[in-house]
Amino acid sequence: MCKIKSLIIAISLVAVGLLLKPTPVSAAPLRLFCGDWTPYSSSNTKEPGITVEIVLAAFAAAGVETVLDFAPWPRCEEMIREGMDVAVFPYVQTPTRKRFARFSVPMLTERTYLYFIKRNLFEFDFTDYAALREYRVGTLNGFVHRELFEQNQVPALVVKNNTVGLKMLLKNRLDLFPMNDLVARHEIHTNFPEQSHLFRRSKTPLYEVSLHVMVSRENPRADRILSLFAKGMRTIRSKGTMARILKRYE
């Protein structure tokens, strides 16, 4: 009788242990996608990027196995529009995206400024979108500033990437180009070190927003993915993992 009772207790403890373990989203790894946006995400540097490390650490802390790949930003967003069973990051919530996507808890806050060349615009600061219509402004596909410019009737030239945008500022083919501060510093230091003294930015940010993981509204696993990510974020914050990641990128 004692042996049977001990066996029942042992089985019960195993069952409780299994229930307490983080539940994976599914048997298959969760597919993650992001674009290149160094130092937030990078497919071609030693460090994978701030948001890459945060997202991978958060899902790992929640017991979710993941597979990460890189794709152009417009393609990342298109996968969510198509209802694919993937998660993409880091993305900003916009009214347009909310129609087809759901968003995680915030992972970071980012500020985007308008960059310019001092000799071309001796002094500039952002006041409102209407004032930008007087300038030659650049933008990028897949970024929130393109949507904001369109909503506010600001004509903007779509360029291939940040490097091209900065180069067009130097060649006086653009007056203003929007960039996140950390991204701009990395780009200028890496690609334009000799001209770094020529670049200036607006004192007032074009916008300040939070960054999120984005999933499709049509994804039946959306609730579970976002719930586990939120759980993982709480864990990496409480254990100091988040602080250590941010420290490495200062």
Q: Is the pLDDT of residue 5 over 50?
A: no
Same domain, 58 and 174: no
Q: Decide if 214 is inside a domain.
A: yes
Amino acid letter, residue 91: Y
pLDDT in tens, 60-117: 999 999 999 999 999 999 999 999 999 999 999 999 999 999 999 999 999 999 999 9
Asked if residues 165 and 159 have their Cβ atoms less than 8 Å apart, the reply is yes
**120 pLDDT higher than 90:** no
Give CA separation, 179 vs 58, 187, 214, in Å: 27, 10, 21
State whether 114 and 197 are in the same domain.
yes
Residue 73 lies in a domain: yes
Structural domain boundaries, residue 59: 30-108+209-248
* CATH number assigned to the domain comprising residue 218: 3.40.190.10
Same domain, 124 and 150: yes
Let me know: does 177 contact 120? Beta carbons within 8 Å.
no
Q: Is residue 230 part of a domain?
A: yes
State whether 94 and 215 are in the same domain: yes
Residue in 181, 179, 154 with CA at minimum distance from that of residue 166: 179
Q: How far apart are alpha carbons 224 and 230 in whole angstroms? A: 10
Looking at residue 26, what is its pLDDT?
A: 54
Query: Do residues 237 and 176 share a domain?
Result: no
Q: Does residue 38 sit within a domain?
A: yes
Judgement on whether residues 132 and 49 belong to the same structural domain of the protein: no
Tokens 């980012």 belong to which residue? 110
Q: Is the domain of 87 the same as that of 204?
A: no
Encode pLDDT of 177-219 as tens digits: 999 999 999 999 999 999 999 999 999 999 999 999 999 999 9
Q: Are residues 222 and 142 in the same domain?
A: no
Sequence-distant (6+) residues with CB within 8 A of 190 are none
pLDDT grade, residue 119 (50/70/90)?
confident
First to last CA, the chain: 63
Report the pLDDT value the prediction gives residue 137, as an integer from 0 to 100.
98
Cβ proximity of 3 and 11 under 8 Å = no
219: left (phi over 0), alpha (psi -120 to 50) or beta: beta
Q: What percent of the chain has pLDDT over 70?
A: 89
| Residue 25 located in a structural domain | no
pLDDT band with cut points at 50, 70 and 90 for residue 46: confident
Which has the closest alpha carbon to 115: 143, 90, 139? 139
Nearest to 31 by CA among 80, 7, 78, 66: 66
* Residue 1 maps to a domain: no
Are residue 123 and residue 173 in the same domain, yes or no?
A: yes
Question: 2: part of which helix (H) or strand (E)?
Answer: helix 2-20
Of residues 172 and 121, the one with the higher pLDDT is 172
In a domain, 8, yes or no: no
pLDDT at position 245: 97
Quick one: 159 and 93 in the same domain? no
* Reported pTM: 0.81
Question: Are 54 and 131 in a shared domain?
Answer: no
State how many domains the chain has. 2
62 and 186 part of one domain:
no
Q: Which amino acid is at 28?
A: A
Q: Is the pLDDT of residue 136 over 90?
A: yes
Answer whether 54's CB lies under 8 Å from 172's CB.
no
pLDDT for residue 10 is more than 80: no
Compute how many other C-beta atoms are within 10 angstroms of the C-beta atom of residue 99: 9
Question: Is the model's pLDDT at 236 over the cut of 90?
Answer: yes
Q: Is residue 9, in this structure, part of any structural domain at all?
A: no
- For the cut 50, the answer to whether the pLDDT of residue 16 exceeds it is no
Look-up of token digits 């009772």: 5
pLDDT higher than 60, residue 156? yes
Element (H, E) at 109: strand 108-117
